[in-house]
Amino acid sequence: MESIWWHIFDILGTAAFAYSGALVAVSRRMDIFGVFMLSAATAVGGGIVRDMLLGNVPPVAFRTSLYGGIIIAAMAGAMVTVWNIRAKRRFSRMMAALFWLYTICDAVGLGAFSVTGTLLGCHYYPQYGLFAVMLGVWTAIGGGIIRDVFAAKIPFVFRKEVYATASVLGCVVLTGCFYTSFLSLPPASVLACTVTIAVRLLAVKRHWNLPLIHRKRHRPYFFR
Amino acid sequence: MESIWWHIFDILGTAAFAYSGALVAVSRRMDIFGVFMLSAATAVGGGIVRDMLLGNVPPVAFRTSLYGGIIIAAMAGAMVTVWNIRAKRRFSRMMAALFWLYTICDAVGLGAFSVTGTLLGCHYYPQYGLFAVMLGVWTAIGGGIIRDVFAAKIPFVFRKEVYATASVLGCVVLTGCFYTSFLSLPPASVLACTVTIAVRLLAVKRHWNLPLIHRKRHRPYFFR
Amino acid sequence: MESIWWHIFDILGTAAFAYSGALVAVSRRMDIFGVFMLSAATAVGGGIVRDMLLGNVPPVAFRTSLYGGIIIAAMAGAMVTVWNIRAKRRFSRMMAALFWLYTICDAVGLGAFSVTGTLLGCHYYPQYGLFAVMLGVWTAIGGGIIRDVFAAKIPFVFRKEVYATASVLGCVVLTGCFYTSFLSLPPASVLACTVTIAVRLLAVKRHWNLPLIHRKRHRPYFFR
C-alpha cells in the first residue's frame, strides 16, 4: 500500500482533521499542548487504532515526523483563523464562512480516511471483506470519536446527521470495486472519496438526518 | 478454542449485551446509526480490545458478519420493546418487567463473556493465570465501560452493586478448574457462567453493595 | 530491557500513580472495586496501551501479580490518608500537606514512566527516534488520561500547567543520550527522570503555565 496515491489521501485527511480538531480545542480554551493533543488525536487517533487492529506496529503515525509537521501547521492555521474571527466586526458573516470551511475540511478528511482505511484492510486481510469496510469507517470516524471522548462529550457522530453513513457508502463502493475488479484501485479510490464527500456535504446542505427512534424525551428510570 | 461450546457462550453474550446497549441508546435519543454503534460497542467492544490484548488480529468480531446480524436483530428487539412500553397504559408495571428483562439479559451477557474471555486467556497464554482472569473480567465488563464512555458517563461498573465482582468470581472458578483439572472445560464453563449470573442476580434482588470508602460528599479541593 | 534499573523505575512509577488514582477515586465516592479500577487504570493503563503499541502481548502488567500487589498497597495507603484527613481538626493545614504529597508522588510517577516508556521504545524500534519519545510521553500521561476519561472529565493534562511538557523534556533528554551515546543508559535514565520531576515541581511551585490560545470564553456556535 506504499503507493503515492495512498499517501496523498493520507496527508489530505490528516491535514483536514488536524485543522478541525484544533478549532474545537481552541474553542474549549485549552492550552497549546492541549490544542496539539486534541488536534493530533483527531488527525492520527483513528489511524493509530487502525494500525493496532491490523497488528501493524509501531503505528505509521509514529514512524515519521511528517504527521507532526502537518499537525503543527494545521494548529497554526486554526489559531490564525480564530484570531481573525475575533478581530472582525462582521461576526455572523465570518461565522457562516468558517462553518462552511470547517464542514468542507471535515468532509474531505472523512472521504480521504475512508479510502486509506479500506485500502489497508483489503491489502492486509483480503479474505475479510467486512473488515475492510469496518476499518475504513473506523479510520474515518475514530479520530472524531477520540477527540469527543477527550473533550468529555458524547461523540457527535452518534447523534448528528448523515456522517458515518457517508463514510460507509464510500467504503462499500471501494470494497465492491476491489472484489469485483470493476475499477482499478486509483480511480476507485477517487470515486469512493468523492461519494463520501458529496453525500456528507449534501446532508449538511439539505439537513438530511437519520430517523431518530423516538423524538420525545423518554428516559426509563433504570438508566441513570 | 474453536469448539462449539465457546461459540454458544459467545453468541449468547453478544445478543444479551447488544440488547442492553440498544436499550440505553434508544433512551438517549440517538439516531439509528448511534443506536447501532452503542449496541455494537457494548456487544463486541470488550471482545475487540480482548483480541488486541491477545495479539489476535483482526479481531474475531470483524471476521464474519454473524455479529453484525446478531446486533441488528437485538436493535430491532430493543426498539420494539421501547415502542411497546410507550404504547401501554400500565407504565409502572411494564417498567418493572422491563427492568428485570434488562437485568437478566445483562447478567447472562456478563456470565457468558466471563467464560469466553477466560477460555481464550487460558488457551493463548496458559503460563499467566492472572492474565486469564483479567481477560475474562475485561471481556465481560469492557463493553459496558466503552458504552458508558461513549455516552459521556462515569462507567456504572465503577459505582454500582456487585457487578464486576460477580465476573471475577466466575473467572476465578473457571481458571481454577483449568489449572487443577478439577472439571473438564465444558462443565466448568457452565458452572462459571452460572456462578456469575447467580451472584449478579442475587446482588440486584437483595441490594448487595460493596462498601463505599466514605459516604458523605467530600471532594478535596485539589481535584477539579 | 529486563535490567534491574528498568524495574526500579517501573515499580516506582506504578506505586506513585496507583496512589494518585486511588485518591481521585475515593474523592469521587466510588466503591472498593471502583477505587481499585481507577487506581489500576492510572497505574497500568498507560503501560497496557504502550505494550499494545509495541505489539508486546500480553501486556507486562498482566504477566505477574506484582502490579496487583502494588496497586492494593497504594489503595490502602490512599484510604488511610483520606480517613486521617477527615479525622483531623486542622483541615487546611492537612490539605496543604496532602496537596504536596499528591503532587510529588505524581511527579515521581511522571518521571519514572517517561523513562520506562522511552527505554522500551529505543529497545524495540531503535530506527524510530520519534516513536521512543512519543511512547515515553504516552506511558507517562496515558494512565492519567484514561483515569480522567473513566471519571467522565476532560483529561486534566490538556488544560493544566507544564505537565506533559516536563515528560517531553525528560524523554528527549533520554532519547538524545541513547542516540548520541553521550551517557550510558542508567545515568541517562536517572538524569531524564530528575529533569522531568524537577521541571514538574518547579512548574507547580512557580505557577508556570503554557500560554492559552485565548483567555475569554468564546465558543463558536457550531461546536456543541
Least-confidence region, from A9-13, C12-16, C209-213: C209-213
Check residue B223 and give its pLDDT. 39
Quote the CA–CA distance of C68 and B121 in Å, as a whole number. Answer: 18
Give the confidence band of C106 by pLDDT, cuts at 50, 70, 90.
confident
Which domain does C128 fall in, by range? 4-206
Q: Does B218 fall in a domain?
A: no
Tens of pLDDT, residue by residue over C2-14, are 578 888 889 999 9
Contact indicator for A61, A184 with CB cutoff of 8 Å: no
Instruction: State how far the Cα of C118 lies from the Cα of C133, in Å rounded to an integer.
Output: 6
CA distance B223 to chain A (A): 16
Contact B55 C55 (CB under 8 A): yes
B87 inside 8 A of chain C by CB: no
State the pLDDT at residue C112: 93
For residue B104, being part of any structural domain is answered with yes
User: In which band, very low, low, confident or very high, does the pLDDT at A212 lie, cut at 50, 70 and 90?
Assistant: low
Flag if B59 and A53 touch (Cβ within 8 Å).
yes
Higher pLDDT, B220 or B224: B220
Tally the domains of chain B: 1
Joined grid coordinates for residue A74: 494545521
Q: Residues C111, C141: contact at Cβ < 8 Å?
A: no
Q: How confident is the model at residue C36 (pLDDT cuts 50, 70, 90)?
A: confident
Q: Does B211 touch chain C (CB under 8 A)?
A: yes
Rounded distance between C-alpha atoms, residue B22 and residue B61, angstroms: 18
Residue C43 lies in a domain: yes
Q: Does a structural domain hold residue C47?
A: yes
Query: Is C136:C170 a contact under the CB 8 Å cutoff?
Result: yes
Model confidence band, residue A216 (pLDDT cutoffs 50, 70, 90)? very low
Q: Which residue of A has its CA nearest to C160?
A: A31
What's A134's DSSP letter?
H
Which of B131, B158, B212 comes nearest C62 by C-beta? B131
Query: Helix axis angle, B129-150 relative to C129-150, nearest 10°?
Result: 70
Nearest to C79 among B125, B213, B223 (CB): B213
Residue of higher predicted confidence among B209 and A77: A77
Residues of chain B found within 8 Å of residue A52, distances taken between Cβ atoms: 52, 57
| Res C139: pLDDT | 93
Residue at grid coordinates 500521561: C141
Lowest mean pLDDT, pick from A148-157, A170-179, B189-198, C55-64: A148-157
Question: Is B220 a domain residue?
Answer: no
A4 interfacial to chain B (CB closer than 8 Å):
no
Q: Which of residues 120-139 of A touch C (CB under 8 A)?
A: none
Preferred mutation among B57, B158, B163, B212 to probe C, highest tally of C CBs within 10 A: B158
CB proximity A68 to C under 8 Å: yes
A220 is a domain residue: no
Report the C-alpha gap between C56 and C203 in whole angstroms: 34
Secondary structure class of A43 (helix, strand, coil):
helix
CA distance A123 to A211: 35
Q: Residue B224 pLDDT more than 50?
A: no
> In this predicted structure, which of B60-74, B104-118, C142-156 has the lowest mean pLDDT?
C142-156
Amino acid at C94: M
User: What is the spatial distance between Cα C6 and Cα C189, in angstroms, rounded to a whole number?
Assistant: 9
Q: Is residue C137 part of a domain?
A: yes
3-state class (DSSP) for residue C212: strand
Q: Is the pLDDT of residue B176 over 80?
A: yes
Note the pLDDT of residue C211: 63
On whether any CB of chain C is under 8 Å from the CB of A22, the answer is no
pLDDT at B1: 52
Residue C218 maps to a domain: no
Least confident of A127-136, B122-131, C97-106: C97-106
How does pLDDT run across A173-194, given as a tens digit for each residue?
Answer: 999 999 888 888 888 999 999 9
Q: Which positions in chain B touch A29 (Cβ < 8 Å)?
A: none
On average, the pLDDT of chain A sits at 83
Angle at the Cα of C222 (from C220 to C224), degrees rounded to 5? 95
Cα(B219)–Cα(C135) distance, integer angstroms: 33
pLDDT (average), residues A149-155: 81
Q: Note whether B142 and B199 are within 8 A (CB).
A: no
pLDDT of residue B78: 85
Q: Which residue has the higher pLDDT, C85 or C144?
A: C144
- B149–C151 CB contact, under 8 Å: no
